[in-house]
């Protein structure tokens, strides 16, 4: 029996609402929309028309943006989805002396945010939930968000599009590592990310703090585009990562489907993506100079966040930790009542499957193969 389509009639929480009409039409030429989701497609079409009108106005800034230099080398947060990257991102984003970050509105409206953000964040605030659907962390247009959405909506080249169009997930997954992707497509994606960063710099005039789990598999390209970039990588026990990813696909993903999904092999797909990302990360990690890389575990960040943050600042040469420390402390105190999701234990056969796919990480980071 087919799985019921959860949240079928919802049009909220869909990143494609920020696309322009020409790109939306191009996406539809390559992907069909299931009749069950035609209403979502109609909603995206309506917003795409409005976005295209705003894009005409924003294009007037094109030459100015192109001439804008970055304010300093960006800091990239790396780590697999559900490894603690969001918690680390939210913490470091509090340091507004050293960093600027891309927020939810900006990454989902990358071509228009300079001219529409102030108005639309008020007009459409109700479309964004106060809490993230998969873990109850705070959500809002103004909060830090993954920059992957920006080149995704601009170039239509991202593994995230496979979430909306699961029938072509394999096609879009190649954009996770860019292995086998033509050089001109890689350049287009890189140019889009650089332009997005320049727009953020034009707005904020500070070095950028960027976070997308996908970047974990693209270190060599990031170093081509941002030669002086710094990186902090966070890892977490593979069992916890897997269980949390299951939950993510059971909650947030249902809001973005435009095709009826076949979820019969979902666990294996999660683990195959885990392996793909980490194989690329381990192979490319040595490309980063030691003084521009720091690695932490989620357990470290949870057990002693201030000491963990201090170590990041020291290793990467980020100044003024003492200045921002009171802000970190205030935020952490406010989060003291936050409760993580609690999941039922994984069955033995699933544990064996996770261990098979995550063996290198269990060994490298000294995680127990037994819960």
Who's near 168: CB < 8 A, 6+ residues apart?
A: 30, 31, 161, 162
In this structure, what token pair is assigned to residue 349? 């056969």
Quick count: other Cβ atoms within 10 Å of Cβ 172? 21
Return the CATH number at 109. Answer: 3.40.50.300
Q: Report the share of the chain in percent with pLDDT over 70.
A: 94
Residue 137: per-residue pLDDT: 57
- Residue 182: how many CA atoms within 13 Å on its side-chain side? 4
Residue 136: per-residue pLDDT: 55
Whether the per-residue pLDDT at 243 is higher than 50: the answer is yes
Whether the per-residue pLDDT at 92 is higher than 50: the answer is yes
Through-space distance between the first and last CA atoms of the chain, rounded to whole angstroms: 33
Whether the per-residue pLDDT at 295 is higher than 80: the answer is yes
Is 100 inside a domain boundary? yes
| Residue 302 structural domain | 15-346
- What is the per-residue burial (b if ≥16 Cβ within 10 Å, else e) of 1-24? eeeeeebeeebebbbbbbbbbebb
Is 128 inside a domain boundary? yes
Is 156 inside a domain boundary? yes
Task: Kindly report the length of the chain.
Answer: 371
Q: Among 116-120, 134-138, 280-284, which range has the highest average pLDDT?
A: 280-284
- Residue 225: how many CA atoms within 13 Å on its side-chain side? 23
Least confident of 251-255, 272-276, 354-358: 251-255
Alpha-carbon distance of 346 to 234, in angstroms, equals: 23
Average pLDDT (98-104) is 97
β-strand partners of 231 = 76, 293
| Alpha carbon 296 to its chain's center | 19
| Alpha carbon 223 to its chain's center | 18
Is 356 inside a domain boundary? no
Residue 232: per-residue pLDDT: 98
- What is the per-residue burial (b if ≥16 Cβ within 10 Å, else e) of 273-294? bbbbbbebbeebeeebeeebbb
Average pLDDT (41-50) is 97
Is 367 inside a domain boundary? no
Binned at pLDDT 50, 70 and 90, residue 122 comes out as confident
Average pLDDT (177-187) is 97
Which tops the pLDDT comparison, 127 or 112? 112
82: left (phi over 0), alpha (psi -120 to 50) or beta: left
Average pLDDT (123-141) is 61
Is 359 inside a domain boundary? no
Residue 141: per-residue pLDDT: 86
Is 370 inside a domain boundary? no
Alpha-carbon distance of 83 to 242, in angstroms, equals: 10
- Three-state SS string across 238-249, please? HHHHHHHHHHHH
Who's near 148: CB < 8 A, 6+ residues apart?
A: 107, 158, 160, 212, 213, 214, 215
Residue 370: per-residue pLDDT: 87
Binned at pLDDT 50, 70 and 90, residue 134 comes out as very low
Average pLDDT (97-102) is 98
**What domain count does the chain have?**
1
Please give the mean pLDDT across all residues of the chain: 94
Residue 126: per-residue pLDDT: 61
In the chain, which ranges are continuous DSSP H helix? 21-30, 38-58, 62-66, 85-92, 104-108, 113-123, 149-155, 161-164, 169-177, 183-204, 219-225, 238-250, 266-284, 298-303, 305-316, 321-334, 348-357, 359-364
Average pLDDT (96-123) is 93
Least confident of 215-229, 280-294, 334-348: 334-348
Question: What DSSP assignment string belongs to 272-295?
Answer: HHHHHHHHHHHHHGGGS-GGGEEE
Residue 234: per-residue pLDDT: 98
Describe the strand order of the beta sheet including 208-211 as a list of residue ranges: 100-101, 208-211, 75-78, 230-235, 293-297
User: Residue 94 in contact with residue 327, Cβ under 8 Å?
Assistant: yes
Whether the per-residue pLDDT at 85 is higher than 60: the answer is yes
Structural Rg of the chain based on CA atoms: 20
Look up residue 21 and give its DSSP letter.
H
Residue 281: per-residue pLDDT: 98
Sort 110 into a burial class: Cβ within 10 Å, 0-12 / 13-18 / 19+. buried
Is 293 inside a domain boundary? yes
């Amino acid at each position: 029996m087919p799985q019921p389509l959860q949240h079928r009639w919802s049009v909220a929480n869909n990143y494609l609402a920020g696309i322009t009409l020409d790109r939306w039409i191009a996406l539809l030429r390559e992907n069909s929309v299931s009749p069950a989701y035609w209403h979502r497609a109609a909603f995206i079409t309506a917003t795409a028309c409005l976005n295209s009108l705003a894009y005409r106005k924003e294009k007037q800034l094109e030459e100015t943006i192109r001439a804008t230099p970055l304010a300093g080398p960006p800091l990239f947060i790396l780590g697999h989805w559900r490894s603690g990257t969001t918690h680390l991102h939210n913490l470091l984003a509090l340091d507004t002396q050293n960093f600027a970050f891309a927020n939810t509105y900006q990454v989902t409206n990358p071509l228009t945010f300079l001219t529409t953000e102030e108005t639309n964040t008020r007009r459409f605030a109700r479309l964004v939930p106060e809490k993230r659907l998969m873990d109850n962390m705070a959500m809002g247009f103004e909060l830090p968000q993954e920059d992957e959405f920006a080149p995704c909506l601009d170039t239509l080249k991202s593994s995230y599009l496979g979430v909306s169009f699961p029938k072509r997930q394999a096609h879009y997954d190649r954009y996770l590592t860019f292995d086998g992707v033509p050089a001109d497509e890689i350049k287009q994606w890189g140019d889009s990310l650089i332009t997005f960063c320049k727009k953020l710099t034009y707005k904020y005039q500070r070095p950028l703090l960027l976070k997308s789990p996908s970047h974990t598999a693209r270190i060599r390209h990031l170093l081509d585009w941002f030669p002086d970039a710094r990186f902090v990588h966070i890892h977490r026990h593979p069992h916890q990562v897997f269980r949390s990813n299951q939950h993510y696909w059971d909650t947030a993903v249902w809001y973005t489907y435009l095709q009826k999904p076949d979820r019969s092999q979902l666990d294996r797909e999660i683990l195959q993506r885990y392996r793909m990302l980490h194989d690329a990360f381990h192979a490319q990690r040595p490309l980063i100079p030691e003084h521009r890389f720091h690695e932490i575990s989620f357990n470290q960040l949870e057990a002693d966040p201030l000491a963990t943050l201090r170590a990041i600042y020291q290793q990467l040469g980020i100044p003024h930790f003492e200045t921002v420390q009171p802000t970190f402390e205030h935020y952490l105190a406010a989060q003291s009542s936050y409760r993580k999701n609690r999941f039922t234990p994984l069955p033995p056969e699933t544990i064996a499957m996770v261990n098979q796919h995550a063996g290198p990480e269990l060994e490298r980071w000294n995680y127990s193969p037994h819960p």
